[in-house]
Amino acid sequence: MIKKSEQKKLIIKVIVVILLALVPLSALRVLLVYDDFTYIIFFKELIFSVISALVVASILYLITKKEIRKINAKARSYAFTDGLTGLYNRHYLNDFLLKFKILRKEGSVFAIAFIDIDKFKEINDTLGHEAGDCILKCLALKLKSLTRTTDTLCRYGGEEFVIIYNDIAKDDILEKMQYIRESVQNSSFRCEHKNITISIGLSFGKGGDDINMILQESDKALYRAKSAGRNCVKLFSKEDEK
Task: Grade residue 22 by pLDDT with cuts at 50, 70 and 90.
Answer: low
Together in a domain, 45 and 122: no
Rounded Cα distance between 106 and 137, Å, is: 36
Single out the residue of 231, 147, 162, 165 nearest to residue 195, CA to CA. Answer: 231
Of residues 171 and 48, more confidently modeled = 171
Check residue 4 and give its pLDDT.
62
Together in a domain, 181 and 101: yes
For residue 229, the enclosing domain spans 90-241
DSSP string, 150-161: TSEEEEEETTEE
User: Exposed, middle or buried by CB within 10 Å (0-12, 13-18, 19+), for 141?
Assistant: middle
pLDDT higher than threshold 60 for residue 103: no
Rounded to the nearest 5°, which phi and psi values hold at 200?
A: -130, 130
Instruction: For residue 190, give the 3-state DSSP assignment.
Output: coil
Check residue 146 and give its pLDDT.
94
The pTM of the full predicted model, rounded to 2 decimals, is 0.71
Q: Is residue 85 part of a domain?
A: no
Domain tally for the chain?
A: 2
Write the CA distances from 124 to 118, 119, 120, 158, 167, integer angstroms: 12, 9, 6, 12, 37
Together in a domain, 119 and 236: yes
Q: Is residue 198 part of a domain?
A: yes
pLDDT in tens, 217-226: 999 999 999 9
pLDDT higher than threshold 60 for residue 102: no
CATH code for the domain in which residue 237 is found = 3.30.70.270
Contact at 8 Å (CB) between 46 and 26? yes
Contact at 8 Å (CB) between 212 and 97? yes
> Looking at 80, 98, 128, which one is the last position of a domain?
80
Together in a domain, 103 and 62: no
CB neighbourhood size of 197 (10 A): 14
The residue annotated as part of the active site, out of 159, 160, 192, 241, is 159
Rounded Cα distance between 118 and 116, Å, is: 6
Rounded Cα distance between 189 and 153, Å, is: 20
Task: Grade residue 230 by pLDDT with cuts at 50, 70 and 90.
Answer: very high
Contact at 8 Å (CB) between 202 and 234? yes
Together in a domain, 179 and 226: yes
| Catalytic-residue membership of 159 | yes
Together in a domain, 119 and 230: yes
pLDDT in tens, 37-90: 566 666 666 676 677 767 777 777 777 777 777 777 776 777 899 999 999 999
Together in a domain, 26 and 129: no
Together in a domain, 151 and 98: yes
Instruction: For residue 200, give the 3-state DSSP assignment.
Output: strand
Together in a domain, 224 and 135: yes
> Looking at 61, 80, 99, which one is the last position of a domain?
80
> Looking at 80, 107, 124, which one is the last position of a domain?
80
Together in a domain, 104 and 215: yes
- H helix intervals, the chain: 4-33, 39-80, 90-103, 120-127, 129-145, 170-185, 211-227
pLDDT in tens, 180-228: 999 999 998 878 777 899 999 999 987 667 888 999 999 999 999 999 9
pLDDT higher than threshold 70 for residue 159: yes
